[in-house]
Amino acid sequence: MGTAYRRHFNTCNSDFFVINLQMGSEVAVNPKAYPLADAQLTITILDLVQQAANYKQLKKGANEATKTLNRGISEFIVMAADTEPLEILLHLPLLAEDKNVPYVFVPSKQALGRACGVTRPVIACSVTSNEGSQLKGQIQQLKDAIEKLLI
Protein backbone atom coordinates (compact mmCIF):
# COMPACT_ATOMS: atom_id res chain seq x y z
CA MET A 1 0.00 0.00 0.00
CA GLY A 2 1.36 3.35 -0.99
CA THR A 3 2.04 6.42 1.06
CA ALA A 4 -1.00 8.16 -0.43
CA TYR A 5 -3.21 5.58 1.29
CA ARG A 6 -1.53 6.25 4.64
CA ARG A 7 -1.67 10.01 4.22
CA HIS A 8 -5.40 10.09 3.41
CA PHE A 9 -6.58 7.73 6.15
CA ASN A 10 -7.01 10.52 8.69
CA THR A 11 -9.68 12.16 6.52
CA CYS A 12 -12.03 9.30 7.54
CA ASN A 13 -13.30 8.96 3.98
CA SER A 14 -14.99 5.55 4.11
CA ASP A 15 -15.22 5.31 0.30
CA PHE A 16 -11.43 5.20 0.24
CA PHE A 17 -11.58 2.00 2.30
CA VAL A 18 -14.05 0.38 -0.11
CA ILE A 19 -11.83 1.07 -3.12
CA ASN A 20 -8.73 -0.23 -1.38
CA LEU A 21 -10.46 -3.27 0.07
CA GLN A 22 -12.04 -4.20 -3.25
CA MET A 23 -9.01 -3.42 -5.39
CA GLY A 24 -6.32 -4.19 -2.80
CA SER A 25 -5.35 -7.69 -3.79
CA GLU A 26 -2.16 -7.25 -1.73
CA VAL A 27 -3.96 -8.85 1.20
CA ALA A 28 -3.35 -12.61 1.38
CA VAL A 29 -6.14 -14.18 3.41
CA ASN A 30 -5.59 -17.46 5.24
CA PRO A 31 -8.58 -19.87 5.01
CA LYS A 32 -8.32 -20.37 8.80
CA ALA A 33 -9.37 -16.72 9.21
CA TYR A 34 -13.07 -17.34 9.77
CA PRO A 35 -15.42 -15.47 9.95
CA LEU A 36 -14.01 -12.85 7.57
CA ALA A 37 -15.92 -9.57 7.33
CA ASP A 38 -16.96 -8.38 3.88
CA ALA A 39 -15.93 -4.92 2.63
CA GLN A 40 -18.97 -3.08 4.03
CA LEU A 41 -18.80 -4.74 7.45
CA THR A 42 -15.04 -4.12 7.57
CA ILE A 43 -15.65 -0.39 7.13
CA THR A 44 -18.23 -0.41 9.92
CA ILE A 45 -15.91 -2.37 12.22
CA LEU A 46 -12.91 -0.10 11.57
CA ASP A 47 -15.05 3.03 12.10
CA LEU A 48 -16.23 1.72 15.48
CA VAL A 49 -12.69 0.66 16.43
CA GLN A 50 -11.53 4.21 15.68
CA GLN A 51 -14.32 5.68 17.84
CA ALA A 52 -13.58 3.19 20.63
CA ALA A 53 -9.93 4.29 20.56
CA ASN A 54 -11.07 7.91 21.02
CA TYR A 55 -13.27 6.89 23.98
CA LYS A 56 -10.46 4.81 25.54
CA GLN A 57 -12.51 1.64 25.06
CA LEU A 58 -9.92 -0.21 22.98
CA LYS A 59 -7.10 -2.59 23.81
CA LYS A 60 -4.55 -3.19 21.06
CA GLY A 61 -2.58 -6.39 20.46
CA ALA A 62 -3.15 -10.11 20.94
CA ASN A 63 -1.86 -10.10 24.53
CA GLU A 64 -4.12 -7.25 25.66
CA ALA A 65 -7.10 -8.79 23.84
CA THR A 66 -6.44 -12.03 25.75
CA LYS A 67 -6.39 -10.09 29.04
CA THR A 68 -9.74 -8.39 28.30
CA LEU A 69 -11.32 -11.77 27.53
CA ASN A 70 -9.98 -13.28 30.76
CA ARG A 71 -11.22 -10.27 32.78
CA GLY A 72 -14.67 -10.39 31.15
CA ILE A 73 -14.62 -6.79 29.88
CA SER A 74 -14.44 -7.50 26.15
CA GLU A 75 -17.45 -6.67 23.95
CA PHE A 76 -15.95 -8.19 20.79
CA ILE A 77 -12.58 -9.12 19.27
CA VAL A 78 -11.24 -7.98 15.89
CA MET A 79 -8.32 -9.85 14.29
CA ALA A 80 -6.31 -9.34 11.10
CA ALA A 81 -6.58 -12.12 8.50
CA ASP A 82 -3.20 -11.29 6.93
CA THR A 83 -1.27 -12.03 10.12
CA GLU A 84 1.78 -14.16 9.40
CA PRO A 85 1.86 -16.74 10.93
CA LEU A 86 -1.86 -16.71 11.72
CA GLU A 87 -1.36 -19.23 14.52
CA ILE A 88 -0.04 -16.50 16.85
CA LEU A 89 -3.60 -15.27 17.35
CA LEU A 90 -5.68 -18.41 16.82
CA HIS A 91 -5.98 -18.89 20.58
CA LEU A 92 -8.29 -15.85 20.63
CA PRO A 93 -11.29 -17.44 18.82
CA LEU A 94 -11.16 -20.42 21.21
CA LEU A 95 -11.05 -18.17 24.26
CA ALA A 96 -13.75 -15.88 22.82
CA GLU A 97 -16.07 -18.85 22.26
CA ASP A 98 -15.50 -20.01 25.85
CA LYS A 99 -16.42 -16.54 27.11
CA ASN A 100 -19.34 -16.10 24.63
CA VAL A 101 -17.73 -13.04 23.04
CA PRO A 102 -18.16 -12.50 19.28
CA TYR A 103 -15.04 -12.26 17.12
CA VAL A 104 -14.33 -11.37 13.50
CA PHE A 105 -11.42 -11.13 11.07
CA VAL A 106 -10.75 -8.08 8.91
CA PRO A 107 -8.52 -8.36 5.81
CA SER A 108 -5.69 -5.97 6.73
CA LYS A 109 -3.50 -5.54 9.82
CA GLN A 110 -2.32 -2.18 8.41
CA ALA A 111 -5.89 -0.86 8.20
CA LEU A 112 -6.63 -2.22 11.69
CA GLY A 113 -3.54 -0.46 13.05
CA ARG A 114 -4.58 2.85 11.52
CA ALA A 115 -8.11 2.48 12.88
CA CYS A 116 -6.58 1.82 16.33
CA GLY A 117 -4.77 5.14 16.05
CA VAL A 118 -1.22 3.80 15.76
CA THR A 119 1.23 3.86 12.87
CA ARG A 120 2.20 0.19 13.22
CA PRO A 121 0.16 -2.83 12.10
CA VAL A 122 -2.16 -4.31 14.74
CA ILE A 123 -3.04 -8.02 14.51
CA ALA A 124 -5.81 -8.03 17.14
CA CYS A 125 -7.80 -5.63 19.26
CA SER A 126 -10.61 -5.76 21.76
CA VAL A 127 -13.43 -3.25 22.15
CA THR A 128 -14.17 -3.10 25.88
CA SER A 129 -17.32 -2.36 27.84
CA ASN A 130 -17.92 0.86 29.73
CA GLU A 131 -21.08 1.63 31.71
CA GLY A 132 -22.00 5.16 30.57
CA SER A 133 -20.53 4.84 27.09
CA GLN A 134 -22.01 6.74 24.15
CA LEU A 135 -20.93 3.84 21.92
CA LYS A 136 -23.14 1.25 23.66
CA GLY A 137 -25.81 1.22 20.92
CA GLN A 138 -23.30 1.03 18.07
CA ILE A 139 -21.36 -1.72 19.84
CA GLN A 140 -24.54 -3.77 20.32
CA GLN A 141 -25.52 -3.41 16.64
CA LEU A 142 -22.06 -4.49 15.52
CA LYS A 143 -22.03 -7.42 17.98
CA ASP A 144 -25.30 -8.63 16.44
CA ALA A 145 -23.88 -8.33 12.90
CA ILE A 146 -20.74 -10.27 13.91
CA GLU A 147 -22.81 -12.97 15.63
CA LYS A 148 -24.80 -13.44 12.40
CA LEU A 149 -21.51 -14.26 10.64
CA LEU A 150 -20.76 -16.96 13.20
CA ILE A 151 -24.05 -18.80 12.59
pLDDT confidence of residue 2 = 43
Give the DSSP per-residue string, the chain.
--HHHHHHGGGT-HHHHHHHHHH-TT----TT--SBP-HHHHHHHHHHHHHHHHTT-EEESHHHHHHHHHHT-EEEEEEETT-SSGGGGTHHHHHHHHTT--EEEES-HHHHHHHTT-SS--SEEEEEP-TT-TTHHHHHHHHHHHHHHH-
Position 27 scores a pLDDT of: 59
The model carries a pTM of 0.82
Amino acid 96: pLDDT: 97
CATH architecture of 3-150: 2-Layer Sandwich (3.30)
pLDDT for 140: 96
How high is the mean pLDDT in each 10-residue block of the chain (151 residues)?
Answer: 39 40 58 93 97 97 98 97 95 97 97 97 96 93 94 82
What ranges do the domains of the chain cover? 3-150
